[in-house]
Amino acid sequence: MTIKVGDRLPAATFRVMTADGPKPKTTDEVFKGKKVALFAVPGAYTGTCSKMHLPSVQQNADAMKGKGVDAVVMTAVNDIFVLDAWKKSSAADKVEFLADGNGEFAKAIDLTFDGSGNGLGIRSKRYSMLVEDGVVKALNVEEMPGKVEVSGGDALLAKL
């Protein structure tokens, strides 16, 4: 069943890049006791994700934090090496990247789509979410993966 406002996020483990290499990071470590702006993209380096979605999150990160958000994070069904390279090449220094390499988190919240027709496999839908202490307070899911109409940083900021 698709996650909705009022639901608690399921337990999952992401991968993050540290100075010592890739490390696991659980949903509790990301969300427990915090107010988090979570964004998901279908894939690193893809057109809409790189040209529209990630820039809108980066540009609004400070304003979100100014409204009480503790962390601004982005996830994708990509490995941490790809996400780390994307973060560096995009200069997205205000956003933490969480790799959902096998799509386990995306599947657990039922926000996936099948991009196999384009050689992408199962991917996360594009969305933004405000999460407080692990509970979904706002959820904005795009109808089409190539659109950033309700899930961008500016759209979530306007709801804070």
Which position among 38, 40, 49, 139 bears the catalytic label?
49
Confirm if 14 and 24 have CB atoms less than 8 A apart.
yes
> How many other CB atoms are there within 10 angstroms of residue 133's CB atom?
13
- Only one residue has tokens 């304003």, namely 63
Give the side-chain half-sphere CA count within 13 A for 111: 28
The reply to whether 106 belongs to the active site is no
15-to-10, 12, 75, 78 alpha-carbon distances in Å: 16, 10, 10, 10
The catalytic site residues sit at: 49
